Amino acid sequence: MSIDWKSYDANGFYDELITARGKPRPAGSVLAKYLGSLSDQEINERKLAAEHAIIEMGISFTVYTEGGNIDRAWPFDIIPRIIARSEWDPVDRGLRQRLTALNLFIDDIYNEQRIVRDKVFPAEVLAQSKNFREQCRDFHPVHGVWAHICGSDLVRDADGRIYVLEDNLRVPSGVSYMLENRQVTKRVFPELFENYRIQPVDEYPAQLFDMLASLSPRPLDYPEVVVLTPGIYNSAYFEHAYLAQGMGAELVEGSDLLVADDDCVYMRTIEGLERVDVIYRRIDDWFMDPEAFDPDSLLGVPGLMRAWRAGNVALVNAPGAGVADDKVVYAYVPEMIRYYLDEEPIIDNVPTYLCMDPKQCEYVLANLDQLVVKPANESGGYGMIVGPHATKAQRREFAELIRRDPRNYIAQPTLKISTAPTLCDGHVEPRHLDLRPFVLQGVRTNVTAGGLTRVALNKGSLVVNSSQGGGSKDTWIVDLGSGG
């Protein structure tokens, strides 16, 4: 008997599988019992099988290093994370509510700006927004949707409640790993799938395609949908190729496209030029069109914004959608939900201090050793400081950064984010994790069943980004029937 749940100790954190008494939660009891019945050797065999499958399936991610880019095997933990469907359903509803409000906000911001006029959203936050694009003013995309794909990061605190940590509305990534994690887990634990009613995740590429196709400016049976990638050296290239393949869409680079004199987008093919209707772009606003944004960008397509504004091509997510990706804007999402939808937020934000507010800033500076401070517009866990884990010198340095540019920083209490059993050298140990579900909004809205669970593989660490030593797990939303 390798795994002894009685000796598993989550050390005061909320554990996703095992309660303080060493007993599994109802949704996880079958899993815990099953894992406990496996010998050391069996567990090791499963782990090797998963590693082998990952290499064989070529599931990789790219890491930027000083020496260039390395394609690495995807770090994966075989023990799935389980959430009961009864607990997931409100989260699902909360995510829909959130994205609906965010899209109303973005559309408003680029048009009437009612929310600013009504003083619900401060004008100065907008004035200093890095991702507000003047080029997008006075435009209404199809269905009024700007952010068609959103990846929101959720965490569970010690109180057992789930909070939104941030919303990713520019080019959220990770969904391919969610899908591949499921494939690997099916190979490793086929027998568990017989004993659980696990919500499938495989239909995501089809839903994504339908959403994209519904935005086509030409009413055709088969609109030309393409995925625009910055290229093979991008850290998410694996995902770009994966999704294009899953949708049967062309994976294009900027140099494959051109905007002709008729303001339509074409791709260069062996047959000549072919018109493109919908572009799922996985490239930042700033690099998308050298005519409208960075003139030195070689990744983009000159004239793309012209074609978009003329209504001849749909861009997903729409340019400028990142205005809501700002962590200061995030703090206002609950207000947006009340303002636009006249509803109470179903999922709460993590309490957030805005350094732009002098009072809150004072509090942040005085309590740096207890707070996590993040820059408003970075992603991938870059440029942040975890107060309790930082040195005095680092905190001093950060205090200076905050004083110099308060608008650019927010602070949150150090959450006691939840753990789940993770395989470490043949036995299980608690590791911290988060969850990134993906929400699609077009004519309809879809939420993935679960999402991508990211795990901090290093003991005690709270950093889950794969670029910084994190791994992942399969995520199961299980239906326990009437009781669950």
**Site residues, another protein (CB under 8 A):** 55-58, 71, 227, 232, 241-242, 244-245, 249-253, 255-256, 258, 267-273
Which CB atom, from 55 or from 158, has the smaller least distance to another protein? 55
**Distance in Å, CB of 70 to another protein, minimum:** 13
- Its sign, for the CA torsion 235, 239, 242, 243, is negative
Contacts of 403 (CB under 8 A, 6+ apart): 365
**Distance in Å, CB of 189 to another protein, minimum:** 21
**Distance in Å, CB of 249 to another protein, minimum:** 8
**Distance in Å, CB of 186 to another protein, minimum:** 15
**Distance in Å, CB of 256 to another protein, minimum:** 5
**Distance in Å, CB of 459 to another protein, minimum:** 31
Q: Give the dihedral of Cα atoms 190, 196, 200, 202; nearest 10 deg.
A: -10
Which CB atom, from 226 or from 464, has the smaller least distance to another protein? 226
Q: Is 117 exposed, middle or buried (0-12, 13-18, 19+ CB in 10 A)?
A: exposed
Separation of alpha carbons 466 and 62, rounded Å: 10
Please choose, from the candidates 77, 217, 209, 101, the residue with its C-alpha nearest in 3D space to the C-alpha of residue 164.
Answer: 101
Which CB atom, from 252 or from 328, has the smaller least distance to another protein? 252
**Distance in Å, CB of 230 to another protein, minimum:** 13
* Residue 115 structure tokens: 């929310």
- Its sign, for the CA torsion 121, 123, 124, 129, is positive
Which CB atom, from 4 or from 56, has the smaller least distance to another protein? 56
Which CB atom, from 142 or from 267, has the smaller least distance to another protein? 267
**Distance in Å, CB of 437 to another protein, minimum:** 25
Which CB atom, from 17 or from 59, has the smaller least distance to another protein? 59
Phi (first) and psi of residue 173, to 5 degrees: -125, 170
Which CB atom, from 103 or from 176, has the smaller least distance to another protein? 176
Separation of alpha carbons 448 and 436, rounded Å: 9
**Distance in Å, CB of 253 to another protein, minimum:** 7
Which CB atom, from 41 or from 245, has the smaller least distance to another protein? 245
Rg (CA), the chain: 23
DSSP-assigned beta bridge partners for residue 238:
none
Which CB atom, from 242 or from 332, has the smaller least distance to another protein? 242
